Chain A
Amino acid sequence: MNTALVALELRKNRLTLIGLGLSFAVVPPLSLLVAPRAALSATQAVESGLILWTLAGLPLCAVFLGAISGASLRDAAVRDAEAPFPGSPSSRVLRAFAGAALQLLMLTAATALLSAALSPGWRGAVLGAGEAPEVWAEIAPLRGLIAFLAFDLLAGSFLAAYVLGHALAGGLIGVALAAGEAVAFGLGLQFTVFYPDRVESFVPLAALAALAGLAAKAAAARPLASRFERSRPLGASGAAGTALLLACGLLAAWGAEESAYARLRSSLRLVKPGVASFLLTLGPSTDDAEAALYPAVRGAGALAATAGGGLFWIAPDGRPLRLLPDGVGGRFAALGPWRTRVEAALWDESGRLLVSRRISEASGDKTEFWAGRPERGLRPVDPALGTPEQIVREGGAAGIRFGRNGEERFCPMDDDGRARTCAPSISAWSSHRSFETQSYPLAARVSKDGLTLRRPGPRARAWRLPAPAADAGAASAPVLAYLVAGKPAYFVPVRIKDDEAMAVCFENGRIQTVWRHGWSGLRAFGGPALDVLPDGTLIYQYAYDWNVVDPSGTFLPPIRSKRLFERWPRPDGAPPYTPRLVRRAGGRAWIVFEGTRLVEMDESTGAPLKDWPLPAKAWTAGSYDGMRVLEGGLVIQEFRTPFFVGWDGAARALRAP
């Protein structure tokens, strides 16, 4: 490209550039002027002023420069002056755009130089060099998007102004086009933010859409230049094609957004039941407590939901069954804690399911409450009970709290959405202690001196521990009750000299010390002490070995994983992954090994017998969100789709039936 002509372009629009430069120059003094009114220090005010200029001022400059440059190409006097110049129509358009882009670059460079010199906060927020002020820290990941939008504004305004021969109209259209793309990208990012492991899947798509938009604009420049520089008629098909090229960026951006939304809608996520406890207590989810104590809960299967609020039950044998259909619409609504519209789900002690979900309808968002047994289908809760407010546990029982005539009532539900009984609610959420008392059935607590385990409530009892609890400092967490041979028992890690062991406190008052190992220093309360399999087997993992209590209450010799590591040595640098025992039957054990393999092993020798690759890496195999153990096999959450893996290693994706 002839530099003389680019220099000419710079000279043509020099007044615009000077004006915009002066606007930038007044940002710091103006910020100082408004600082007292905004209750900001001088440094904060200048910093905010400069960041605002970068976020909003520069894109606005892009609009000005693009629109003025594009419109001036159509100016009759300018066209006459440049008519004798050699070169194609598109080169004239291209060099005008290059001039405008260069001016934007100059403004950007001036902004960067001055702002970086004046404000460390600006450097942190915009360049990512150093610490960003808290309020601006969130913009850092959006730098690429903002830079693209600024360039897109320049290109869109330029082309629109060129087509219309009018700077103001062109600028407005450029802003509208870029805003349309920004909204699409913003929504797409929002969808993927709810699936943080796949933001990467949207960003390349968005980048591709952005590049396609820019490429299409560049492609449109050629027929447009021919149309306006050489008065070559476009024809109906040419005009339609060019219009399509101009709209391509918008279409591609919304295509990317639609794709992200479609992924979101079609995805199934495992839903963790239980009364959410993370805000109220250090204790585990109530689901662990329920599974520990109620056979009906641990054998109930799994739940999965769509972003649209559809709910599926994955039966113990792995069959998916739709319980609730998707809601309609709702693209712009926020999603619930499991990144779906299911807000809460809870199994009661007999295996009934209570669900609340927020769905969108034509009339707006609303929260629905459902109850029932999954194999018979869920029913909406009886409206005569009042306004359902929350799924809760009170006194260890699961139910729904209703409000009616100023009264709060707690109602355990029957299979048809009606109340079995109702009583004044005693939910008192003011303290985590009361939450635990109400929510964890039969939970006990270690005394502050670490020597006594106490269970409060109507079935109060105390056990004198044979040695101090291993971590008495964590005594605020509840100690869950587990069923051993059909009766509640408590497993309390204790420290014996330089070793640690598990004190098992039985319902009859007996205490047995088991599983003595060297001191690991890793024992703590605040989580389920043991894993519970659907058949009631209790597993206490120490290092990479498993101590097991079988459903009859027999304490078995440890099952060791050493030979698995000999068979499949972990490569250097591979992330650590704790193997997980997921089934015992007939002297064999099934292990999820390294998150990528299901291994059937001889539990007495530890020798691997069979193994199958898993269809997706069970990254979070230790947590419910990533993997759920059912009677008939495993459910593993791949990004969008759960997989069911039977004990024979056969895997299948679980999709909506």
Chain B
Amino acid sequence: MNPIILESVTRTFEGRRVLDGLSARAGEGKVIGLLGRNGEGKTTLFKILLDLLAPDSGRVEVLGARVSGDGAVRRRVGYVPERPAFHDFLTVGEALALRARLFDGWDAARAEALCRRLALDPETRVAGASKGTLGKLAWVCAAAHDPSLYLLDEPTSGLDALVREEVLAGLVSELGEAGKTVLIASHRLDELSGLLDEVWVLAGGKIAGIYDAETLRTEARRVTGRPGPNFAAPDGVAALETAGPVGAWAALDAAARGRLLAGGLEAAAEEPLTMAEALKALLAVHGGSR
């Protein structure tokens, strides 16, 4: 079963088509990074998956059930929003107690353990709580009912470096190991490089590319050289520096590297790309498609 199935999903806001026939399927147990520039529709996609937003057209299935507007999908999904919000008259403990009555599989012991791990005090009032505290609370709320699918929209936003590392390296890693399916959008995907199974590039209202994270880790190269007179960058290659007679290009996999060299580049040097560079290159490759 594909925990996420998106087929020809479109959504328009005030005449602007943010999602334009988007299609994708997530494999079970995969940790997927969602990459896209600001405004490309990452949050829109999350909201559609959560049944918080109606698509104009297309089919959306989450965990085997069609998303139809009844909001039932949210019972089975763990969601961490970009800007976690809670009723400001509640304490952390009350916010968790409220969710315990809304989510069937709520595990109070798990919630308590997560609170301890994230140093979250149940007596803390939401009003006046730091962004980090709210972020941590959102994590507990998302995970305490042990869902099989996590939708994480900038889940480390507002977290300090230590906590961010705990969240990313700890929690997300554990989710991956536990066979949970995770779709995560983050400006710091590079920090997750070791955890990702796939990277979806959202551009032009579509999933413009789906990349195997392992391939990116092992095959992505920075190729420096002098382009021949008829040189043109092939598919899967992003130009990094092209100002002088000698330029640099990013090839995202071995095949792209081969096309680059075959296309008339006289290579002078090659070096592996970091994940951050690879992701940046991914954006560059798909940036012009809109």
Contact = CB atoms under 8 A, between A and B. Distances in A.
A85 interface: yes
Given A80-B83, A83-B81, A84-B81, A230 B75 contact: no
Nearest to A15: B89
Q: Interface size class for chain A?
A: 20 to 34
A522 interface: no
Nearest to A222: B69
Q: How large is the interface on B (under 10, 10 to 19, 20 to 34, 35 or more residues)?
A: 20 to 34
A86 B71 contact: yes
A448 to B, nearest CB: 85
A85 B100 CA distance: 11
Contacts of B86: 81
Interface of chain A, helix or strand or loop or mixed? helix
Contact of A86 (B53, B56, B74): B74
Contacts of B83: 80
A84 B54 contact: no
B84 to A, nearest CB: 8
Contacts of B231: none
Contacts of A139: none
Contacts of B87: 8, 11-12, 78, 81
A4 B98 CA distance: 7
A86 B75 contact: yes
B85 A77 contact: yes
B290 interface: no
Interface in A42-95: 77-78, 80-81, 83-89, 91
Interface string A175-189: 000000000000000
A78 B88 CA distance: 9
Nearest to A77: B85
Interface string B52-90: 111010000000000001111111000101010111110
A91 B54 contact: no
A229 B54 CA distance: 9
B141 interface: yes
B52 A230 contact: yes
A353 B71 CA distance: 76
Contacts of B88: 77
A12 B141 CA distance: 20
B51 interface: yes
B13 to A, nearest CB: 8
A87 B141 contact: no
A231 interface: yes
A232 interface: yes
B101 A84 contact: no
B50 interface: yes
A431 interface: no
B74 A231 contact: no
A5 interface: yes
A103 to B, nearest CB: 16
Nearest to B89: A11
A234 to B, nearest CB: 11
A17 to B, nearest CB: 13
A5 B102 contact: yes
Contacts of B56: 233
A85 B53 contact: no
B53 A231 contact: yes
A80 B52 CA distance: 10
Given A8-B98, A85-B74, A91-B71, A230 B54 contact: yes
A278 B61 CA distance: 81
Contacts of A80: 81, 83, 85
Interface in A84-115: 84-89, 91
Contacts of B52: 83, 229-230
A221 to B, nearest CB: 14
30 contacts: A2-B101, A4-B102, A8-B87, A11-B87, A77-B88, A80-B85, A81-B87, A83-B50, A83-B81, A83-B85, A84-B50, A84-B79, A84-B81, A84-B141, A85-B74, A86-B71, A86-B72, A86-B73, A86-B75, A86-B102, A88-B71, A89-B69, A89-B71, A226-B54, A226-B69, A229-B52, A230-B52, A230-B69, A231-B54, A232-B69
Interface of A: 2, 4-5, 8, 11-12, 77-78, 80-81, 83-89, 91, 226, 229-233
Given A4-B102, A88-B69, 16 more contacts: A4-B101, A8-B98, A11-B87, A11-B89, A12-B87, A12-B89, A77-B88, A80-B81, A81-B87, A86-B102, A88-B71, A89-B71, A91-B71, A230-B51, A230-B53, A231-B53
